[in-house]
Amino acid sequence: MPTQWETFAYGGDFNDYPNSGNFCIDGLNYPDRTPHSGLIEYKKVLEPVRVEAVDLLKGMIKLENRYDFITLEHLECAWSLMADDKLISQGILSCLDIEPKSVRVFKIPYVLPEYAANGTEYWLKVDFTLSRSFNWADKGYPVTSSQFKIPLDTKPISLIPLSKVPKLCCKIDSKKIYIDGNSFSMVFDKFRGTIEQYKYNGINLISRGLTENFRRAATDNDKPIQAQLWEKERLDRLMRRITSFGVAKKLDNAVQIMVSASIAPISMKPLFESLVTYTVYGTGEIAVKVWIKPKRTIATLPRIGMVLGMPFEFEHFSWYGRGPHENYPDKKESALIGVYKGSVDEQFENYVFPQENGNKCEVRWASLTNTNDMGLLFVGLPEFNISVSHYKVENLAKARHTYELVKCNETIINIDYALSGLGSASCGPDVLDKYKLKPDEIEFSFIIKPFSRNSGTEMYMSKQRIEDV
């Protein structure tokens, strides 16, 4: 891929006219033959073996040979049973002499518990690799993978009683709310309706507080239809006006703050009203509940969620959800549920023409940490979409080439209730209706925890939850 100071050129960059812009440079491979995440998805859709669940509680699955002329004997089939991120058992399925266009039922000999304790999720993964080398790939080359959630009865997570939560101190003046507690401090700005400062063990964790977010930098597939509707509604010029701000509850070990806002494009009638409830506990964690309601009719939205900023040093990203590559509502079959990690920069899909990128779907938790393994842990109730970047949406939306992108001095985190699908309108049909994001009244919740790996893993800490106030 090009360096920061290099770029791939496309139609119009050579003073050529007429031209097709970047239309002929947005295929399944980048010009240097680096695979696009779309190619990984395409490979999954065309998989030669389809796996279907028959009775997962009994270990029964069905394999379908989708080849026209050969059996599956050139493949090795390995299965694994996971409890969240822990390997429970694994093995190999034999007898893959399944005739072309035929199916066979297999029983996998795993042993399941009676129920899933403490919110644990059990997953069956089935991997197919080449059992020998061929001219086009070596032995062990991954052909396809499938994953299934085992439908075990689940016992809910045990909540920490509020009586066991450390005490905090809350002071209020005409402009700010100051909260101090066990190793943390927090300041709310009444005028802006946001968290102005959030420190843990003396480390500043945020560069800007949570605000509602409905915008994305248009993708190539957004531009022909959806982006024109969004531009007409001026989603890139939304203004947020605080209509009320108050302390709803003030206890010895918890404070609940409610912020109401009216959100409108410049010189237009309000488009949304919102209510964001922050419950701050003496541990320093924040339970966030978001309610958003449309005020007038709009066909679709690019996203509904919240955005915040952390200092640039929080570069290490981990998550439990779909991955490791970017995925969206209509582009996620190849992205299996798991625990993944990488840098913030590594989440950036470097499209030739800059645009929305890097989302992760169905995320249970995500963390952003510095080199000292300290930072923030975001926990879904139960799930959210998340993307992290060093580029502002305004920069992504304006840039036409990658060299026009300039890293900002923070890590930007989008925590979304939902996003619109991608579709293929740049050269085909628009987003299917079931993947369009309709502007309905919504509620979603998540938890923000100050986090240090010295206190436990993200998986462990995500299940340490305090009862509601």
Average pLDDT, the chain: 96
pLDDT tens-digit series, residues 378-399: 999 999 999 999 999 999 999 9
| Number of domains making up the chain | 2
Q: Tell whether the model's pLDDT for residue 288 goes beyond 70.
A: yes
The CA-based dihedral angle spanning residues 220, 354, 435, 230, taken in that order and rounded to the nearest 10 degrees: -80
CATH number, domain with residue 78 = 2.60.40.10
Q: Tell whether the model's pLDDT for residue 3 goes beyond 90.
A: no
Q: Which of 417, 344, 393, 353 has its CA nearest to residue 22?
A: 353
255 and 352 share a domain?
yes
Q: Which of 128, 149, 170 is where one domain is finished? A: 149
Q: Which of 149, 183, 217 is where one domain is finished? A: 149
In a domain, 2, yes or no: no
126 and 202 share a domain?
no
In a domain, 13, yes or no: no
**pLDDT value, residue 1:** 52
Quote the domain boundaries for residue 67: 44-149
Residues 277 and 104: their CA atoms lie apart, in Å, by 52
Q: Tell whether the model's pLDDT for residue 5 goes beyond 70.
A: no
pLDDT tens-digit series, residues 96-133: 999 999 999 999 999 999 999 989 999 999 999 999 99
91 and 226 share a domain?
no
Residue position matching structure tokens 């979603």: 444
51 and 194 share a domain?
no
143 and 189 share a domain?
no
Kindly tell me the burial class for residue 252, based on how many C-beta atoms sit within 10 Å of its own C-beta (0-12, 13-18, 19 or more): middle
What global pTM score does this model have? Answer: 0.96
pLDDT tens-digit series, residues 304-322: 999 999 999 999 999 999 9
Low-confidence winner among 27-31, 209-213, 398-402 (lowest mean pLDDT) = 27-31
Cβ contact 85:338 at 8 Å: yes
Q: Which of 84, 114, 149 is where one domain is finished? A: 149
In a domain, 14, yes or no: no
Which tokens is 186 given?
């927090």
Sign (positive/negative) of CA torsion 208, 213, 216, 217?
negative
CA 313 to chain centre: 20
Q: Mean of the pLDDT values across residues 20-34?
A: 88
Kindly tell me the burial class for residue 162, based on how many C-beta atoms sit within 10 Å of its own C-beta (0-12, 13-18, 19 or more): middle
What type of residue sits at position 13?
Answer: D
**pLDDT value, residue 6:** 80
pLDDT tens-digit series, residues 218-266: 999 999 999 999 999 999 999 999 999 999 999 999 999 999 999 999 8
CATH number, domain with residue 459 = 2.70.98.10
In a domain, 216, yes or no: yes
In a domain, 206, yes or no: yes
